[in-house]
Amino acid sequence: MTEPIIRLTNVFKRYDDTEILKGIDIELEQGKFYTLLGPSGCGKTTILRIIAGFTSATSGDVYFDGQRINDLPANQRKVNTVFQDYALFPHMNVHDNVAFGLRLQKKFSKADINQRVHEALTSVRLADYADREISELSGGQQQRVAIARAIVLKPRMLLLDEPLSALDAKLRRDMQYELRDLQQRLGITFLFVTHDQEEALAMSDEIFVMNAGHVLQSGTPVDIYDEPINHFVADFIGESNILTGTMIKDHEVEFVGKRFECADAGMRPNESVEVVLRPEDLDITTPENGKLTVTIESQLFRGDYHEIVAYDSDHNEWLIHSTNPATAGQQVGLTFEPYDIHVMRLHETEADFDARLERYDDEQAEVKRP
Amino acid sequence: MTQRRFKWSSIYLLLVFVILYAPILFLIVYSFNSGTTMDHFDGFTLAHYATLFADTRLIAIVLQTLLIALLSALIATTIGTLGALWIQQTSRPFFKNSLLSFNNILIVSPDVIIGASFLIFFTTLSIPLGFTSVLISHTAFSIPIVVLMVLPRLKELNGSMLDAAADLGATQSQTLRDVIIPFITPGIFAGFFMALTYSLDDFAVTFFVTGNGFSTLSVEIYSRARQGISLEINALSGLLFVLTLVLIVGYYIVSQSSQRRLLRKKRGVNR
Amino acid sequence: MTQRHFTSWTYYVPYGLWVGLFVIAPVGLIIYQSFLDLHHHFTLANYQAYFESGTYLMMTVNSIWWAFLITLFTLLISYPAAYYIHQLKHRQLWLLLTILPTWINLLLKAYAFIGIFSQAGVVNQFLSLFGIGPQQILFTNFSFVFVATYIQIPFMILPIYNALDDLSGSYINASHDLGATNWQTFSKVVWPLTLPGVKAGVQAVFIPSLSLFMLTRLIGGNKVITLGTAIEEHFLTTMNWGMGSTIGVVLIVAMVLIMIITGERRQDRGRVR
């Protein structure tokens, strides 16, 4: 494996008495789109600021290309940032904002600068806006100028601090495509910070899910969605029905007073666990054919599906996404497949979790071989 | 009903503005009086303006006043801007609040206290009373207002803009020169302008700290007014009023255009 | 926030010197001087004289009373004026017209009133039309309060106007929406929310009103003696700097008291919010 472009080892950050980061270890490879995902206050922006050099780690090391950069000031780091509020200089026009960093370096001719600024503005589709004042631009256009200003310096890595949060829903979706496209065209590493799980799932090669100063789980969007490590991740990424249960033995789990076949294994017999069932994995059927019987409480039409809330006889709430509408008050059956059940151990670390998944994958392979 | 209320308020406002402007217009009207009092308007004349322009002593005083105002405003703007930078980037809240309190002492102090305490100060240090002491005093009491005009601008300069400058490779001094100073320039101009008016308007402090040979316009008017009516002073007010109007209209145009830019910026962000 | 240094500390030397030499030193000197007698010997006699002789205490009470009256009249005239100006179409321009007179030299305005209020001046000419003149107007308490109020009005209108400007229109709409009458909206929403502006105005008017010595000389005819007049007299006429400084210290204490009171109130508001 090549040397990662950024490596944080055991990074802690304290402000006065509060600990913002509690031992962060992450590695970012060249040319990938990474996302730090978590609720506000989880420390994700602090990681970004430590990498950019706006603040320093209380302890722990930051490596860039294998070089320790803890003490390198922000203005000498080969990373650039797109700020949440864009931070465009209001007393300069679009061209001057983008040219700002180039002019400081004093090694480019005027023609060179104009050429590079034009290229950067073209790549964010604002080539005709060079002479506009910042105040004349819409939010979406300011966003693009901020991106152009950061990429014009040809950084090895681009840091994006919730850059889409101020945009309306439609524009945000368009920008997701554009950012992804831009990252692939430039071939540099993007580190994107957001609290919006949809954004993270849509754009990233790899996601770091954070909470309260810890990285809880990292992996591809599909891995994290399908195999959440714990209650928090399952709840934060996508919508889920989370129930407490008991792992009777490998491939058999008990919850809501019934035993079900499942795909998970490698836990102690009769271990207490939590079970996740995604709403879209639940199918409505007749009460006789269902594995469970629930009563429909209410439903909302969400455009591409109906969001249905139902209760079973133990008063557990069930969230179901269905293409067909249901009738409130009606008793229906719910079915799901064994592999739709995701079993999570309580307090499992990411390393143990990965090891267990690997063992389990090997077993599966052995089962298939004969 | 609304119409009726509007009418009452208009009459009230009209009255307030009449009271505000009547004395000033009264002064100017009588500056053209061919008589010698402000009681009866005997006829039109420009004689008092002629006397005014022949009064070399008064003209010298006007020039001295302007020189003091410009010099003190210039020095105060420089020191005050540096002070504002200091206050803004102080991280310890106690120290910051102390600096701000010290800054505001001269703003809330009555003129006589400033005048009296400066008089003791100059006497203690044996600084001669005259041009120097007046210039130092005007500079000193103008500094805090400059700080107060520059600080809000510095606060508007949010952290991420400075982070952005560093992120794009700017050193501290480049950030100061290329981002901070241009950004706070409107505040610096406002501070300079306020310092100028503070100096031109001051009477009490100058009255305390000036010596025999040196006088500013306010002090001169005071001593002449104590001797009674002289329509030459009316002529002087007429001239000063026109000068003030020109200054204000100029400043209004400048600030309006920068305000419009600010408004546009706000609209842009909201969109 | 991280600490940010965009300048080296040498830039701060001039401002630091200013704080030391022109803020701390003068206050220290005036306090020191207040303990000196005419021969520069240490004494408590000045304070003794101030607190024991009825004249100084009466003068202080009088001075506060006149300042109170000036502030009250200024507020009564300025609040409605600020309120109506804020409703006007070109309010920025009207506000500018309100401030404009403050840029005419104070002494010139005082001088104008010498003419207006004189024995044969326009006011007396006007009163004569009704057969009630000529009256002695100049050099009376009335003329002093009138001219002082006239001078202070713009300084009161400005902060009140700013407070009204900060007041979001949606509060007023919300108040009407919830069924409040115009008067109820004013007394329960507009007035409490503009109170900080009123306080700022009171601060800006009251303290200078304690020390308007040139007006007491030119307009009040030495009938009104304010703290400011007394200080000027002791410093520049009788040359008793010690006594002048003692009165100065009293004025400083009064000023600090006023600032503490308004400061504490502001904290209370913060806590409520």
Pairing of strands A6-15, A18-28: antiparallel
Among B239-243, B251-255, C147-151, C166-170, the minimum mean pLDDT is found in: B251-255
Q: C217 in a domain, yes or no?
A: yes
Sign of CA dihedral C20, C26, C27, C31: positive
State both tokens at C189: 């929403």
Q: Do B169 and A105 touch (CB under 8 A)?
A: yes
- Identify the DSSP state of C22: I
Largest Cα–Cα separation, chain A: 79
Determine the residue of chain A that is closest to B171 in CA distance.
A75
Burial bucket for residue B107 (CB in 10 Å: 0-12, 13-18, 19+)? middle
- Label residue B132 by pLDDT band (50, 70, 90): very high
- Hey, is the C-beta of B267 within 8 angstroms of any chain A C-beta? yes
The partner residue sitting opposite B252, judged by closest CB among C96, C112, C259, is C96
CA nearest neighbour of B221 among C179, C114, A143:
C114
- Hey, is the C-beta of A137 within 8 angstroms of any chain B C-beta? yes
Count Cβ–Cβ pairs < 8 Å, chain A vs chain B: 87
Give the total number of structural domains in chain C. 1
- Label residue C187 by pLDDT band (50, 70, 90): confident
Q: Do B121 and C106 touch (CB under 8 A)?
A: no
**Separation between Cα atoms, residue A155 and residue A145, nearest integer Å:** 16
Reported as type and span, the H/E element at residue A248 is strand A241-249
State both tokens at C86: 């804020």
Residue B263 pLDDT > 60: no
Q: Do C111 and B86 touch (CB under 8 A)?
A: no
State both tokens at B40: 């009866």
- Please, which contacts does A68-75 make with residues 24 or more away whose CB atoms are closer than 8 Å? A73/B166, A74/B163, A74/B166, A74/B167, A75/B166, A75/B167, A75/B168, A75/B169, A75/B170, A75/B171
Q: Do C112 and B20 touch (CB under 8 A)?
A: no
Nearest CA-CA distance, residue B265 and chain C, Å: 19
Nearest CA-CA distance, residue B266 and chain C, Å: 16
- Label residue C269 by pLDDT band (50, 70, 90): very low
Chains linked to C by 3 or more Cβ pairs within 8 Å: B
- Label residue B84 by pLDDT band (50, 70, 90): very high
**Separation between Cα atoms, residue C88 and residue C101, nearest integer Å:** 20
Chains linked to B by 3 or more Cβ pairs within 8 Å: A, C
Q: How far is CA B49 from CA A223, B20, B34, B60, C96, in A?
A: 91, 25, 11, 16, 28
Q: C249 in a domain, yes or no?
A: yes
Residues of chain A in contact with residue B160, where contact means CB-CB under 8 angstroms, are 83-85, 87
Nearest CA-CA distance, residue C204 and chain B, Å: 8
Q: C27 in a domain, yes or no?
A: no
- Hey, is the C-beta of B170 within 8 angstroms of any chain A C-beta? yes
Nearest CA-CA distance, residue B158 and chain C, Å: 11
Better-scored residue on pLDDT, B39 or C148: C148
CB-based contact A163:A199 (threshold 8 Å): no
The partner residue sitting opposite B83, judged by closest CB among C15, C114, C150, is C15
Which residues, in sequence order, are bridge partners of residue A277? A241
Burial bucket for residue A111 (CB in 10 Å: 0-12, 13-18, 19+)? exposed
Helix residue spans in C103-168 (DSSP H): 106-116, 122-129, 141-166
CB-based contact A159:A79 (threshold 8 Å): yes
- Label residue C257 by pLDDT band (50, 70, 90): confident
**Separation between Cα atoms, residue C254 and residue B245, nearest integer Å:** 37
- Hey, is the C-beta of A346 within 8 angstroms of any chain B C-beta? no
Return the pLDDT at C224. Answer: 78
User: Does residue C108 sit in helix, strand or coil?
Assistant: helix
Distance from chain centroid for Cα A10: 21
pLDDT exceeding 90 applies to what percent of chain C?
A: 30
CATH of the domain at C254: 1.10.3720.10
- Count of helices and strands (H, E) across chain A: 9, 20
How large is the ipTM? Answer: 0.85
CB-based contact A102:A152 (threshold 8 Å): yes
Reported as type and span, the H/E element at residue B207 is helix B204-209
For B134-187, how does the pLDDT look when each residue is reduced to its tens digit (9 = 90+)? 999 999 999 999 999 999 888 888 778 888 998 898 888 888 889 999 999 989
Half-sphere exposure of B51 (CA within 13 A, CB side): 15
- Label residue B264 by pLDDT band (50, 70, 90): low
pLDDT exceeding 90 applies to what percent of chain B?
A: 43
The partner residue sitting opposite A75, judged by closest CB among B170, B266, B269, is B170
What is the residue extent of each domain of chain B?
Answer: 21-34+43-265
Return the pLDDT at C75. Answer: 95
Which residue segment(s) compose the domain that C158 sits in?
Answer: 55-269
The partner residue sitting opposite B13, judged by closest CB among C11, C85, C114, is C85
CB-based contact C137:C120 (threshold 8 Å): no
CATH architecture entry for B21-34+43-265: Orthogonal Bundle (1.10)
Provide the angle, in degrees to the nearest 10, between the axes of the packed helices B131-156 and B56-89: 40
User: What is the residue whose two structure tokens read 């004249």?
Assistant: C55
Residues C80-91 have a mean pLDDT of 90
Residue C88 pLDDT > 90: no
Residue B15 pLDDT > 50: yes
Determine the residue of chain A that is closest to B264 in CA distance.
A135
- Identify the DSSP state of B180: I
Distance from chain centroid for Cα A367: 34
Residue C144 pLDDT > 50: yes
Task: Count Cβ atoms below 10 Å from residue A110 Cβ, excluding itself.
Answer: 9
State both tokens at B192: 């300079």
**Separation between Cα atoms, residue A329 and residue A331, nearest integer Å:** 7
For every residue of A251-298, DSSP letters joined together read: TEEEETTEEEE-S---S-TTEEEEEEE-GGG-EEE-TTT-SEEEEEEE
pLDDT exceeding 70 applies to what percent of chain C?
A: 92
Return the pLDDT at A51. Answer: 92
Pairing of strands A33-37, A189-194: parallel
Residues C144-173 have a mean pLDDT of 90
pLDDT tens, per residue, chain A with 370 residues: 567 899 999 999 988 888 888 989 999 999 899 999 999 888 899 999 999 988 888 999 999 988 899 888 888 888 999 988 888 888 888 999 999 988 888 888 889 999 999 999 998 888 899 889 988 888 889 999 999 999 998 899 999 998 888 888 888 888 899 899 999 999 999 999 999 888 899 899 999 999 988 898 899 998 888 888 888 888 888 888 888 888 888 888 888 888 888 888 778 888 888 888 889 888 888 888 888 888 888 888 888 888 889 998 888 889 999 888 888 888 888 888 888 888 888 877 777 777 777 776 666 555 554 4
The partner residue sitting opposite A136, judged by closest CB among B166, B183, B264, is B264
Residues of chain A in contact with residue B174, where contact means CB-CB under 8 angstroms, are 104
CA nearest neighbour of A319 among A262, A362, A281, A288:
A281
Return the pLDDT at A2. Answer: 66
Return the pLDDT at B268. Answer: 42
Chains linked to A by 3 or more Cβ pairs within 8 Å: B
Determine the residue of chain B that is closest to C31 in CA distance.
B117
Distance from chain centroid for Cα B160: 33
The partner residue sitting opposite A134, judged by closest CB among B158, B164, B265, is B265
- Structure pTM? 0.79
**Domains and their CATH numbers in chain A:** 6-226 (3.40.50.300), 239-368 (2.40.50.140)
Sign of CA dihedral A49, A52, A53, A56: positive
- Label residue B6 by pLDDT band (50, 70, 90): low
Letter for the amino acid at B5? R
Q: How far is CA C125 from CA A340, B38, B198, C119, in A?
A: 101, 12, 36, 9
For C224-255, how does the pLDDT look when each residue is reduced to its tens digit (9 = 90+)? 788 889 999 999 888 889 999 999 998 888 88
